[in-house]
Amino acid sequence: MNAARIRTFAAACAFATAAFIPNVAFAASTFYGIVRHVSMNSIKVDNPRTGQTLSFEILPKFDQIFSSDGKSTYQMKAIHAGRYVGVIYDQHFLGVRHADKIYIMNNANERLRSE
């Protein structure tokens, strides 16, 4: 019983300390690849060149999907499995990757040109 209280107290101290330590500001990064899964609150992208797969959280009313020139926007339904995309993301909130913008790409990992 005493050991459980010590562990609980140690965990509470660790969480309290982490709350007061300033978080390291992660700069926005870009990840390019093929969409493997997309749902209402997340997207999983696989980079075939490096073999790396990353998941990104997206907000329910996410509307930052752009064409190559960044002027035209797409709806979330334009993103589906097998589509090449570029995801601009950061990890500010508890280290969770979340998408800030998504660019639709062509098969050569170049942004689609609007015509």
User: 10-residue block means of pLDDT along the chain (115 residues)?
Assistant: 68 55 60 92 92 90 77 84 91 84 74 50
The CATH number covering residue 54 comes to: 2.40.50.320
Contact present, 25 and 70 (Cβ < 8 Å): no
What is the rounded CA–CA span in Å between residue 97 and residue 31?
11
Total structural domains in the chain?
1
Residue 63 forms part of a structural domain: yes
State the pLDDT at residue 15: 57
State the pLDDT at residue 51: 93
State the pLDDT at residue 89: 92
Half-sphere exposure of 73 (CA within 13 A, CB side): 7
Residue 8 forms part of a structural domain: no
Residue 62 forms part of a structural domain: yes
